[in-house]
Amino acid sequence: MKKLSVFMFALLLTTYACNNNPGGDQSTVSFGIYETVMVQDLPGFTMAAEPGSTAEGSPRQIIIGENLIPNEDPVSAIVAYAHVDSTFSIEAPADSQVKFLRTTNPVDPEQQYYALVAVKEQPVMTNEDLKITKPNKNVVEINFNLKGSRKWAEMTRNNVGKMIAITIDDQVYILPTVMAEILEGRAMINGLENEETAVCLSTALNGGR
């Protein structure tokens, strides 16, 4: 089974379509930005094809399922790739303060594998931090409110050189790497499929505003 690269994932931004929310209740769309956890910072965790014993002192199984490809890059937040047809469960010990989120769409050119991403248990930013979003061609521009701008500045300052996970409905939408502290209270989701996708996503994030 071929190995999937983190570089590939960085290039293939997942897209959002209106039919992701078939009920049309856009006010229920959940936005989140999480700090990620690198593979090397998950000591004692392992993956397995079948559930097994976790005796004291032995590795704790966090991802159980078939057709899983562990990510061997220790400085990545992607812990594994899961085949789209596989059945798997993701469980983190209660004391770990970590959870595992799946990407919205498959991340490889053949559309066969999702990525599983380790993030801290609680998001740093949520819908409450949004002021307004607006589409601009195939980009969604995000403007944070005053509280959100302060949190965004602190989060980016504390995560320079690290991945963060931007999520919609608790699925990872993109995994950008923070290049510098951002003070102006703005962010963007780019690389979207087309203008229609940007309009749809922006409207959903605004919750009908």
Assigned domain for 46 exists: yes
Query: Is 62's pLDDT higher than 80?
Result: no
AA identity, residue 89 = S
**CATH number of domain containing 137:** 3.30.1360.200
Assigned domain for 165 exists: yes
Assigned domain for 158 exists: yes
Query: Is 111's pLDDT higher than 70?
Result: yes
pLDDT band at 157 (very low <50, low <70, confident <90, very high): very high
The count of structural domains within the chain is 1
In sequence order, the 6+-apart residues with CB closer than 8 A to the CB of 171 are: 101, 102, 103, 104
Domain that holds residue 55: 6-206
Q: Tens of pLDDT along 7-18?
A: 333 334 444 445
Assigned domain for 1 exists: no
Q: What is the Cα–Cα distance from 60 to 92, expressed in whole angstroms?
A: 9
Whether the model pTM is above 0.95: no
Q: What is the 3-state secondary structure (H, E, C) of the chain?
A: CCCCCHHHHHHCCCCCCHHHCCCCCHHHCCEEEEEECCHHHCCCEEEECCCCCCCCCCCEEEEEECCEEECCCCCCCEEEEEECCCCEEECCCCCCCEEEEEECCCCCCCCCEEEEEEEECCCCEEHHHEEEEEEECCEEEEEECHHHHHHHHHHHHHCCCCEEEEEECCEEEECCECCCCCCCCEEEECCCCCHHHHHHHHHHHHCCC
Residue where the block lists tokens 């392992």: 46
Q: Tens of pLDDT along 23-41?
A: 444 456 889 999 999 988 8
Assigned domain for 87 exists: yes
Assigned domain for 154 exists: yes
